[in-house]
Structure 1
Amino acid sequence: MGCMEAVLLTWVGKRDLEAITCTDQGPVLSTLKAFQFSRVVLLSSYSSSELRKYKSWLVERLRDSAPSIESHHEPLNSPIDFTSIYQVADRHLQRLHSGQSNLSILLSPGTPAMQAVWILLGKTKYPVTFYQSSREQGVEQVEIPFNIAAEYIPSAVSVNDQHLANLINDQALVHAAFDDIITQDPNMLRLKKQAQILAEREVPVLIQGETGTGKELFARAIHNVSRRANQPFIALNCGAIPPELIDTTLFGHKKGAFTGAASDRAGVFQQAHGGTLFLDEFGELTTAAQVRLLRAIQEGLVTPVGSQKEESVDVRIITATHRNLIEDIANGGFREDLFYRVAVGVLTLPPLRSREGDLLHLSETLLAGLAKQDKALEDKKLSVDAKNLILLHLWPGNIRELRSTILRASLWSSDELISGEEMQQAFFHRSQKQDGLLDRDVSQGVDIQDIISELVGHYVPRALLASQGNKSDAAKLLGLKNYQTLNNWIEKHRVKIDN
């Protein structure tokens, strides 16, 4: 194994910037002269130009002994805003924390809020060494004589294991009706009305939408409001059936039909007789299974595996998928005749991120629901900082992700008020490289300059290719004034141009 990398993380303070024009070295330079580090990470809420100037000055003062220095311009809502300071500090500590690094934090530069956040993170989440620098005492390693983690008792400790298992189970309510679909969004309210109309008819329904948007909740509500409400509601996840078990799962089998068939078994069609059959992840069925399913839906007849006798079934079909079945039809992956057989009443559920006004309303409703299920979570409320983080997050997992995140934050919170820090810890941190330019999660922090550079780097080479290398024509294609402006963009954003 190689040597451990010694990393120092610090904000750049006012005294550090002033050191450029006076005899005072400032806390950062003083620390780097007193202790050896292989890598230094500078964070600054001052302007990018001030940060660049300071970094160059720092490298010049250290000369041959200069460690690897990286700098990050981190605009904050204000230098005393705990939420934005926490987000920046936690993101960098998480990035730098590894088994190959010894992490150190210089406490002295920055505001008291910045110092408080360093201590909270360094005593609860990340193993770090603290340093401080002052004119009077010089530079010294400091010990902080308390353990926040040991004194921090989350609500999870008092939640009964069985209750916790029930809280984790987020399946749609068995008796769900349309009142259980919580929304203030005009589009969702319109979909609820449409679903109520469909519930009164016997037509097949196709529910489309991303994972976690509430497709099963809609399906159960349609069933519970329909004339079949007192009959069975059978739900089947088509994506979870092994190919060799599709027929027996759908249509059942007779005793002795195959090895292990010790008795007759009803398939989901027979189980749902008189009621509703909900086929979730409908688009995952193989094309061979689609053929047999189409016949069963059209004719209301099924043949159990191992039997020569058809059985009549009376079921209402509700299907759901997160796939674009029209594209699958065009690609040969899904049968067009089956699609149009089930897509009579169609509901397309929007993702949570586009549901206007629903995020906080849903969050508070879910929080109240958790409190009803377990007294240990009673009186939990969301702080303003927690609400702001909820509004900033993109919720790729939709309502299912929102519910599990609210649950994690509730369990970890030691007070009645769930803080921004506790909500931040409850999030899953995803790599931004997987997101589109317009889908970056602002709650995790973004670098707008990098995003602009990525956009410029994408379109400039294409414009040059379209104009056969003529920069004046390429500039026109991009809406720029002239080729000189284009050159400036290429240089500023370091665009790679193939010759």
Structure 2
Amino acid sequence: MRFALIRQQVDIPFEIAAEYVPAASEISTASLSNIALQATPINAAFDNIIPRNKSMLLLKQQAQVLAQKLVPVLVYGETGTGKELFARAIHNAGPRSDKPFVAINCGAIPAELIDSTLFGHKKGAFTGAIADRLGVFQQADGGTLFLDEFGELTADVQVRLLRVLQEGVCTPVGGAGEQRVDVRLIAATHRNLITDVAEGRFREDLFYRVAVGVLHLPPLRRREGDLLLLCDALLATLGKQDAALDGKKIPPDAKNLILSHTWSGNVRELQATLVRAALWCQGDTIEQKDMAGALFEIPARTDHSAIVDLSQGVDIQRLLCMFVRPYLQQALAQTAGNKTRAAKLLGLKSQQTLSNWMETYDIDTSVGTIFAIHSAWTK
């Protein structure tokens, strides 16, 4: 039996626009994977820390001093503020720069493997120990050990860690003899360890053993003057990683969106947002709509039992703005800028009331329309 191949012209009742060709189509899979998984570079130096903010400039100077001294360092900061970047820069600028830098997240280690991870184990010490293994203290011998999420260590592990820091020796799991180690310790945490010490959750002697050189990294929302500077630096880095992302520019209206965002994820969130915006924009300009589509609005956690600290004063208007703006923007987005319907969604008495709120919190219809477009794209 034979089949004849018949070709027939078909009229498609719509046109397929070819003008929307995002930058993502030009980026190689390997390059995109590297960008998405980008971590702190192993050769990070103080040149990688780009501040204009006075408090950050002072912290950078203090860290450069600490780099030359082999004292333990404790780095405080929210997630994404650059704690590992500072740690690597301190190591690379110090006298042990040619020695190992070993980083580990204490909060990610299973309880049953913590001793083996920190101090190593001998073959046969437990089920699955098929060979001797060095712990991170032995791996970092002569160099620097970075313990991220240091405040997550349990009380029993804190005791054993204190002994290593005091005596410079550790015993592998299943081992009979002690091994001498010489490490420079840099620890990092987002927790308030002073409070944990006061409430008995963290050993006071271990805290003072580590908290010799202390750096408090501010969140991005408190680094006045740094936000747009960091945007330019991160875009330049993306351009070096892939030619398709080279030369991307951010116009003033898109920059205003960046400046109005809270950036709860700090520099890490900023980097991921710029990558998303750069991937989908057309041409060399990241337009306001590209930035609006790349931003995530994460609801703030509420804790009605929290005690408010007014000792340093607060900007109540700014706090109100941070709370109210996302709701106004979302209501306008869901109603495509219809103020009457948006006011109803928000429980406001009238369109005029909504207009008054929009004027107070500097929101106009064009912003609402942008968010409406964003909502349509994400359906």
- Shared fold (TM-score greater than 0.5)? yes
Q: Please, which runs of 5 or more residues in structure 1 have no aligned partner?
A: 1-143, 453-499
SS in 2 for 1:367: helix
C-alpha distance in structure 2 between counterparts of 1:399 and 1:165, whole Å: 19
Deviations 1:336-361, CA, capped at 9 Å, x for gaps: 11111100000000001111111111
C-alpha distance in structure 2 between counterparts of 1:159 and 1:451, whole Å: 46
Q: CA deviation at 1:317?
A: 0.3
Higher strand share: 1
Q: CA deviation at 1:440?
A: 2.9
Instruction: Name 1:426's counterpart in structure 2.
Output: 294
Asked if 2 retains the 8 angstrom alpha-carbon contact of 1:437 and 1:451, the reply is: no
Q: 2:119 aligns with which of 217, 233, 251?
A: 251
Distance of aligned partners of 1:351 and 1:254 in 2 relative to their CA distance in 1, 3 Å threshold: same
C-alpha distance in structure 2 between counterparts of 1:382 and 1:317, whole Å: 40
SS in 1 for 2:258: helix
- Largest Rg, 1 or 2: 1
**How many correspondences in the alignment?**
308
- The CA RMSD measured in Å over matched residues stands at 2.3
C-alpha distance in structure 1 between counterparts of 2:112 and 2:171, whole Å: 16
C-alpha distance in structure 1 between counterparts of 2:324 and 2:95, whole Å: 44
C-alpha distance in structure 2 between counterparts of 1:437 and 1:282, whole Å: 34
Q: 1:175 aligns with which of 40, 43, 67?
A: 43
SS in 2 for 1:356: coil
Larger displacement relative to structure 2 (242-251 or 167-176): 167-176
Asked if 2 retains the 8 angstrom alpha-carbon contact of 1:254 and 1:264, the reply is: yes
Asked if 2 retains the 8 angstrom alpha-carbon contact of 1:170 and 1:400, the reply is: no
* 2:272 maps to 1:389: no
Deviations 1:408-428, CA, capped at 9 Å, x for gaps: 000010121111111010011
C-alpha distance in structure 2 between counterparts of 1:267 and 1:239, whole Å: 16
- State how 1:407-486 maps to structure 2 within 5 Å: 407-431=275-299, 434=302, 437=320, 439-440=322-323, 442=325, 445=328
If asked which structure has higher relative contact order (CA below 8 Å, sep 6+), I would say 2
Asked if 2 retains the 8 angstrom alpha-carbon contact of 1:429 and 1:444, the reply is: no
Q: 1:190 aligns with which of 55, 58, 78?
A: 58
SS in 2 for 1:381: coil
Instruction: Name 1:8's counterpart in structure 2.
Output: none
* 2:267 maps to 1:399: yes
Q: CA deviation at 1:434?
A: 4.7
Distance of aligned partners of 1:432 and 1:445 in 2 relative to their CA distance in 1, 3 Å threshold: farther
Instruction: Name 1:218's counterpart in structure 2.
Output: 86
Deviations 1:86-113, CA, capped at 9 Å, x for gaps: xxxxxxxxxxxxxxxxxxxxxxxxxxxx
Q: 1:350 aligns with which of 218, 224, 228?
A: 218
SS in 2 for 1:382: coil
- State how 1:33-432 maps to structure 2 within 5 Å: 151-431=19-299
C-alpha distance in structure 2 between counterparts of 1:156 and 1:237, whole Å: 32
Could you tell me which amino acid in structure 1 is paired with residue 228 of structure 2? Answer: L
Asked if 1 retains the 8 angstrom alpha-carbon contact of 2:119 and 2:136, the reply is: yes
Asked if 2 retains the 8 angstrom alpha-carbon contact of 1:177 and 1:222, the reply is: yes
C-alpha distance in structure 1 between counterparts of 2:199 and 2:206, whole Å: 15
Instruction: Name 2:374's counterpart in structure 1.
Output: none
C-alpha distance in structure 2 between counterparts of 1:438 and 1:239, whole Å: 34
SS in 2 for 1:368: helix
C-alpha distance in structure 1 between counterparts of 2:31 and 2:23, whole Å: 13
SS in 2 for 1:346: strand
Instruction: Name 1:14's counterpart in structure 2.
Output: none
Q: CA deviation at 1:431?
A: 2.8
Deviations 1:246-267, CA, capped at 9 Å, x for gaps: 0000000001111111111000
SS in 1 for 2:323: coil
C-alpha distance in structure 2 between counterparts of 1:145 and 1:385, whole Å: 33
TM-score (norm 2): 0.77
Distance of aligned partners of 1:392 and 1:443 in 2 relative to their CA distance in 1, 3 Å threshold: farther
Q: Please, which runs of 5 or more residues in structure 2 have no aligned partner?
A: 1-12, 304-318, 332-342, 349-379
SS in 2 for 1:218: helix
Deviations 1:225-258, CA, capped at 9 Å, x for gaps: 1110000000010000000000000000001111
